[in-house]
């Protein structure tokens, strides 16, 4: 019996032949087709997760990749089975086991480091590292301190500023278990904002629970809204960390220190921020160090010993812990010099910024405390601020003293040499011990290429007239029990309160023009903090944040973005395929 095939059977045969041909072709390029399909699925998934506007495109790529993988698996079923059960399959299983073990190890390490966090700042300027003084303050918090950052997380205009504030406060909380914070929308919680005197978003309130003490700092200054677009306008706070430390000190119970600037002798102006020769910037920095800064006119105010500070002061009395003399040009009156001497004999603290050619009364006053200030100025032919040799750079600092520990370099636009002789210092008996009546310590000195020149206008040394050598520019006088022309008031060691002085042979370095340059501001603030005994505040201020931006047009930015997304991964995939093809 014979059968005849019709047109339908012939069509079916042709389809089977086509499938066999496809299977044969797919079998020859199956691994490459599967790899490309998997790669397409990964790229599609990445697009869907990271680029919202490309979700549809990513889904289409994922579907195409899945179809390619499925067809390859169906067409090369025998090859797939052999690859799983054969020698290659065993090798693949070993590779898969190694990958799983690696992922498990990463997971375990991640769990360990999560419970034991360590932080590294790998930026070149250490811009994410808290200043040492901030770490000291956080480590010494004895009572829990809380903070509320008043921002709206959903407001895109506030988000960039909130990010900076949030990062800093989170770093505070990591460094101290006594500090906690939260973010709150002042429009949602207006009563809490009013309780802390918050009037606009961008402010941060620091407080102690169950206490009326609080202080508010600006995370960002709100300037209102753009009248055309309605967008909120904020000014970033460039000294965020500095401004957050001050309320920490206030609410944690530390009292403000009072620094008195001597006036009435042509000293540097402390109130004019526009004058290059004033010291408003230095005064402002001092207030941020939690100091209460006040003027002192000795013709109107009388200094009383600090030990009577717990008694009410009369209107014409002051009990300072620190007096600052900044660049006087007129002589002290005799009774004023006597009053400053009495202040030091009672254990006072004095910072003197004295320029070359200073009035004689100040030179005589300081000589009684163990130092001699030159009338000429120091020029340095080796290390100076170009082009003026009369502005020496000073890099030789006493690294054993907290005033200059960690300071790199300072410069002084016209500096006097400060000389002293500890060998000739008279002794004094305190508590059965023989000590020098004053202990003078060199803090900074110039290089060996320095000259002491009497003529303040001359910038070139004369070997016949001038003296060459290294010269002290900053000295510390501590454990000073009395001026050299007097005996100590207090011989009993339980009642003896020695004075401390820092003498710097220049006042220009701390003016508005120079304060923020080099380490000038740090030298000034560290000297004050050392004199007032506040060692936790003596550290280098954090560096400014370095802004590194890529300036590109929208088209250039698209090229960078899509090259990193597609071109580089594709090149790596093609390289892998090529290596496999050669070694197969």
pLDDT tens-digit map of 385-402: 888 889 999 999 998 888
Paired residues of 372 in beta bridges: 419
Do 235 and 278 fall within a single domain?
no
Do 349 and 485 fall within a single domain?
yes
Residue 578 belongs to a domain: no
User: How many domains does the chain contain in total?
Assistant: 3
Q: Where does 289-408 have alpha helices with state H?
A: 334-345, 360-367
Do 413 and 507 fall within a single domain?
yes
Do 319 and 436 fall within a single domain?
yes
Domain ranges, residue 153? 132-244
What pLDDT is attached to residue 89? 59
pTM to 2 decimals?
Answer: 0.56
What pLDDT is attached to residue 515? 94
In order of 388, 469, 532, the CA distances from 474 in angstroms are 21, 16, 17
Dist. CA 180–CA 173, nearest whole Å = 6
Do 317 and 418 fall within a single domain?
yes
Residue 124 belongs to a domain: no
CATH of the domain at 236: 3.40.30.10
What pLDDT is attached to residue 48? 74
What pLDDT is attached to residue 308? 38
Do 207 and 337 fall within a single domain?
no
Which residue stretches of the chain have pLDDT < 50? 1-2, 307-310, 494, 534-540
The residues near 181 (Cβ < 8 Å, ≥ 6 apart) are 146, 147, 148, 149, 169, 170, 172, 173
Dist. CA 507–CA 444, nearest whole Å = 15
Q: Which of 244, 264, 294 is the last residue of a domain?
A: 244
CA triple 95-101-107, angle to 5 deg: 140
Do 260 and 223 fall within a single domain?
no
CATH of the domain at 469: 3.40.50.880
What pLDDT is attached to residue 538? 47
Q: Which of 202, 217, 244 is the last residue of a domain?
A: 244
Determine the distance from the C-alpha atom of residue 127 to the mean position of all C-alpha atoms in its chain, rounded to a whole number: 6
Could you say which DSSP state residue 20 is in? H
Residue 362 belongs to a domain: yes
Phi-psi region of 224 (alpha: psi -120 to 50; beta: other; left: phi over 0): left
What is the three-class DSSP state of 449? coil
Nearest to 319 by CA among 299, 296, 341: 296
What pLDDT is attached to residue 310? 45
Query: CB-side exposure of 214: number of CA atoms within 13 Å?
Result: 21
Q: State the first-to-last Cα distance of the chain, in angstroms, to the nearest integer.
A: 52
Dist. CA 232–CA 159, nearest whole Å = 11
What pLDDT is attached to residue 157? 86
Q: Which of 115, 148, 164 is the last residue of a domain?
A: 115
- CB contact at 8 A, 290 and 277: no
Do 240 and 262 fall within a single domain?
no
Q: Which residue matches tokens 């944040």? A: 545
Residue 79 belongs to a domain: yes
Residue 546 belongs to a domain: no
Determine the distance from the C-alpha atom of residue 13 to the mean position of all C-alpha atoms in its chain, rounded to a whole number: 79
Bridge-based pairing state of the strands 349-353 and 322-326: parallel
Dist. CA 418–CA 485, nearest whole Å = 20
Residue 287 belongs to a domain: yes
What pLDDT is attached to residue 255? 54
Dist. CA 37–CA 23, nearest whole Å = 17
Do 147 and 187 fall within a single domain?
yes
- CB contact at 8 A, 238 and 226: no
Residue 3 belongs to a domain: no
Do 345 and 481 fall within a single domain?
yes
Do 347 and 491 fall within a single domain?
yes
Residue 584 belongs to a domain: no
The residues near 136 (Cβ < 8 Å, ≥ 6 apart) are 536, 537, 539
Do 197 and 337 fall within a single domain?
no
What pLDDT is attached to residue 113? 67
């Amino acid at each position: 019996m014979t059968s005849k095939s019709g047109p339908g059977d012939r069509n079916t045969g042709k389809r089977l032949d086509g499938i066999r041909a496809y299977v044969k072709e797919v079998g020859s390029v199956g691994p490459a087709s599967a790899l490309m399909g998997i790669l397409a699925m990964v790229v599609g998934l990445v697009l869907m997760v990271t680029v919202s506007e490309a979700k549809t495109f990513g889904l289409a790529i994922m579907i195409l990749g899945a179809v390619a993988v499925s067809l390859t698996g169906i067409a090369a079923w025998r090859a797939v089975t052999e690859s799983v059960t054969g020698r290659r399959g065993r090798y693949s299983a070993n590779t898969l086991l190694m990958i799983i073990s690696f992922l498990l190890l990463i997971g375990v390490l991640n769990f360990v480091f999560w419970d034991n966090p360590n932080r590294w700042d790998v930026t070149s300027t250490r811009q994410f590292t808290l200043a040492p003084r901030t770490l000291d303050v956080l480590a010494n918090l004895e009572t829990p301190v809380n903070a509320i950052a008043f921002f709206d997380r959903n407001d895109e205009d506030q988000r960039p500023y909130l990010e900076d504030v949030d990062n800093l406060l989170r770093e505070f909380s990591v460094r101290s278990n006594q500090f906690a914070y939260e973010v709150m929308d002042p429009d949602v919680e207006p009563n809490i904002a009013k309780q802390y005197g918050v009037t606009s978003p961008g402010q941060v309130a620091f407080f102690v629970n169950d206490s009326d003490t609080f202080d508010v700092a600006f995370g960002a200054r709100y300037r209102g809204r753009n009248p055309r677009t309605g967008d909120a306008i904020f000014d970033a706070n460039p000294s965020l960390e500095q401004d957050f430390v001050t309320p920490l000190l206030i609410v944690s119970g530390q009292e403000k220190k009072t620094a008195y600037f001597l006036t009435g002798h042509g000293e540097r102006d402390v109130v004019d921020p526009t004058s290059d020769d004033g010291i408003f910037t230095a005064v402002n920095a001092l207030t941020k160090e939690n100091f209460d800064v006040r003027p002192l006119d000795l013709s109107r105010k009388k200094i009383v010993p600090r030990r009577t500070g717990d008694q009410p002061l009369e209107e014409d009395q002051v009990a300072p812990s620190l007096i600052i003399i900044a660049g006087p040009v007129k002589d002290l009156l005799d009774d004023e010099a006597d009053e400053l001497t009495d202040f030091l004999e009672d254990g006072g603290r004095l910072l003197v910024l004295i320029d070359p050619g200073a009035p004689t009364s100040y030179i005589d006053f300081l000589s009684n405390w163990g130092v001699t200030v030159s009338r000429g100025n120091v020029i340095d032919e080796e290390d100076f601020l170009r082009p003026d040799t009369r502005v020496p750079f000073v890099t030789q600092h006493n690294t054993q003293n907290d005033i200059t520990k960690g300071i790199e370099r300072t410069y002084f636009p016209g500096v006097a040499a400060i000389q002293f002789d500890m060998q000739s210092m008279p002794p004094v008996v305190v508590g059965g011990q023989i000590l020098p009546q004053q202990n003078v310590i060199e803090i900074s000195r110039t290089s060996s290429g320095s000259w002491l020149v009497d003529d303040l206008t001359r910038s070139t040394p004369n070997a016949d007239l001038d003296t060459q050598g290294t010269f002290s520019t900053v000295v510390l006088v501590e454990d000073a029990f009395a001026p050299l022309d007097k005996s100590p008031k207090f011989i009993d060691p339980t009642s003896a309160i020695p004075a401390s002085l820092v003498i710097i042979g220049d006042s220009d370095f701390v003016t508005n023009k120079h304060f923020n340059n080099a380490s000038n501001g740090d030298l000034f603030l560290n000297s004050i903090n050392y004199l007032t005994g506040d060692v936790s505040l003596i550290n280098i201020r954090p560096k400014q944040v370095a802004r590194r931006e890529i300036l590109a047009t929208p088209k250039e930015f698209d090229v960078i973005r899509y090259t990193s997304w597609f071109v580089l991964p594709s090149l790596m995939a093609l390289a892998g395929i090529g290596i496999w093809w050669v070694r197969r």
